Structure formats: structure tokens, C-alpha cells
Amino acid sequence: MKPSILQKYSDFLPLTDNTPIYTLGECDTPLVRSRVLEKEFGVGALYFKLEGCNPTGSFKDRGMVMAVAKAVEEGSKAIMCASTGNTSASAAAYGAYWGLMTCVIVPHGNIAMGKLAQAVAYGARVIAIDGNFDQALSLVRQMAEKHPIAMVNSVNPNRIEGQKTGAFEIVDALGDVPDYHFIPVGNAGNITSYWKGYVEYNNAGKASKRPVMMGFQAEGAAPIVKDHIVENPETIATAIRIGNPASWEKAIIARDESGGVIDSVTDNEILSAYNMLATKEGIFGEPASAASLAGLIKSVNGGLNLAGKTAVCIITGNGLKDPDIALKAAKPPIKLPSKLEAIEQSLDLG
Ligand code: F0G
């Protein structure tokens, strides 16, 4: 049986004797070495951390297993979150496991179909508002203040605590920190978590240094890069369609303390990286996930020399969550009669 991450990293997590230890199979995700892109972009060693291999298909399960454990410990009967999709899928799953009333607020029309299907399937109360993620988050904050409901967005520190285990796993797998850590940035909880994890491991003597944190927002939703709130964020990567990130300041601390950058990538750069990942490495991440690779490519093309360096790109969510984009971004299937010759001809075998 897979051990609970709560047990594995108990020394670093806010556990008490009353915290329930359980698992839905989250964490211990693969760190896969690049075969093609590493050489193409001159990286010493390039790895992809496949967070889509978590039980609900995204990195959110790391934080959710911890946040929901604490909610249960504290006697909560209900949990709530705002989400661009993945947090809602994860909250719905962990809420279902514990029999909690789970309510998720999502932006109507701007959540990938797979994620909506998950939240509904796990039995959450799904509210789709005529507004964006930032507005949904504000509503959830008000609800949690007024009612005895545990908020499980990443403003809940227990989410950050759980998510920082991603950094521990990378160090445990590589034997030390990578030189560079590339990551998509939306609400900025994940970059905050990874930085916290790397710093704690370094302080505990489990890593010799800290990595340079390279965060990437989508160009149409890049408040940190622009240094102002974006009222109407827009991007094809709906997971990171956020104009006022909750962990804004903490992301800036991660950037500055690590000597890194938070930059933006265009939707075209995201889609190009998304295609490369799938067709050249056999890794199907969702569009927002590809912002990490898109950022690496942009950085290298802009003069960053990664020769002799180790870099990790976090692939935050599974590509199956957003089948609409997958079908739009690739060649359509070929429709043919059920005949051998027709297939041979179409494959141009000579
Ligand atoms: N990648 C994916 C697949 C995401 O779902 C998210 C965030 C991010 C990256 C960005 O991470 O917010 O910690 O900076 N999704 C949230 C949600 C907002 O509601 O599912 P972040």
C-alpha cells in the first residue's frame, strides 16, 4: 500500500495526534528525464515532474490531502473553494472521501470540461458564476467568514504545507535541488509552496542549496509581471486565468530570494510547448502546465545558458482534463472507409 505523504514527511508538516493520516494515492509522482528537448535546448539535465499522475490529475491533491485532514481534525462539516477547475476537482474528491459537504465556485464557461465532470462526479455542489476566478475567490472568502465552512483555497496555509512536498520529492529523487525550477503561476500558491519546501529542506541539511525559481504567467493574465491587477484576464490556459493572485507577495519573495524571474508567455508559446511535450516527450499535460516548458524555451532563446545545469519543469495537470484544446491544437483524425488500401494510402508508406 502506498504510504500517506502525511506520514512520509510528517517532520515537516503541521500534524498533531488528532490529524487523520490517510491517502487517496496522491504524491510520489514521477520525475521523468527528457529525451529530446533537453538536447534541443542545451540543458545539462532536464526533468518533468508529472503532477498529472495524482489521483485527480493535478498537483492540487498534495495540498488538499493536508488541508482536508486539518478541516476534519477541526471538526468541519463543510469545505468550500473557488477554482479555475483543478482545485474544485481535488476538493470534491477529498470532501467525498470524508463525507463533507463540498461547495465549489467556478467561472461559468471558463473551466475545462474534464474538471467540471470531476467536480460533478464526486458529488460536489458546483456553482458556476457569471464572473471570473478572482470574483469567485472573493465570494468564498466572504462565505468562510460568515459560515462555519473551511476554505480550502491556497490562502489556507495547510494547502501550502501539503504542496511543498513536491519540492521534497524532487530533492529526494535527484539527491539535491535542481539549479532551475520552472513553474506555471496562476494564483501563485504553487510557486510559494515549492520555494517553502526547498528552503526548509536546505535549512534541514537535506539539500546543499536552493534553486532559481522561474515562474510563468500567461501573457493575458500576468498581473505579477505587469505589477498591477488585471481586471479581465484572458488566456487559453484557463487554469491560470487569474488577474489578482492571492499569494502575489509570496511569489515575489520566492522570485527575489532565489534570484529568479516571473515572466509571461503567450498563448501561442504555451500551445507550442504543449504540442512539443506531447509529440516529442510523450507527456500530455494540460495547457497551463506547458507554461513551465514555454518559459524554459523563452528563457533559453533569450540568452539563459542551461548547459551543465539541472532544470525541472513542473507539469501541473493532466492533458485529459481539457480535451477540447487537445482536439483543436492537433491534427484532426483521418476519416476513411474500413479498407486496408485506404489506410495504406493515407499513411504514405510508399
Ligand atoms: N497549473 C494548473 C494545471 C493549475 O490548475 C493551476 C492553478 C496552476 C498551474 C497555477 O498554480 O494557482 O498555485 O499558481 N489552478 C487553480 C485552480 C487556480 O483553481 O485549480 P497556482
pLDDT digits (tens, 9 = 90+) for 164-223: 999 999 999 999 999 999 999 999 999 999 999 999 999 999 999 999 999 999 999 999
Ligand 1, atom 4, lies closest to the CA of 239
Beta pairing class for 310-315 and 150-151? unpaired
Mutate to test the pocket of ligand 1, among 316, 320, 322 (most ligand atoms within 8 A of CB): 316
Mind listing the pLDDT tens digit for each residue in 126-159?
Answer: 999 999 999 999 999 999 999 999 999 999 999 9
Distance CA 285, CA 283 (A): 6
Mind listing the pLDDT tens digit for each residue in 115-129?
Answer: 999 999 999 999 999
Ligand 1 binding pocket includes 244 (Cβ within 6 Å): no
Mind listing the pLDDT tens digit for each residue in 303-333?
Answer: 999 999 999 999 999 999 999 999 998 888 9
Q: How far is the CA of 82 from the centre of ligand 1 (A)?
A: 11
Mind listing the pLDDT tens digit for each residue in 65-74?
Answer: 999 999 999 9
Distance CA 317, CA 319 (A): 7
Q: Smallest Cα–Cα separation from 264: which of 232, 231, 306, 235?
A: 235
Mind listing the pLDDT tens digit for each residue in 82-127?
Answer: 999 999 999 999 999 999 999 999 999 999 999 999 999 999 999 9
- Long-range contacts of 242-245, Cβ-Cβ distance < 8 Å, separation of 24 or more: 242/84, 242/132, 242/133, 242/134, 242/186, 242/187, 243/132, 243/134, 244/134, 245/185, 245/186, 245/187, 245/188
| Alpha-helical segments (H) within the chain | 5-8, 37-40, 60-73, 86-98, 113-121, 133-146, 157-163, 165-174, 189-203, 223-226, 248-258, 267-281, 290-301, 323-329, 340-346
Residue 2's pLDDT is what? 85
Ligand 1 binding pocket includes 86 (Cβ within 6 Å): yes
Is the full-model pTM beyond 0.95? yes
Q: How far is the CA of 281 from the centre of ligand 1 (A)?
A: 23
Ligand 1 binding pocket includes 186 (Cβ within 6 Å): yes
Q: How far is the CA of 338 from the centre of ligand 1 (A)?
A: 43
Q: Smallest Cα–Cα separation from 213: which of 267, 158, 170?
A: 170
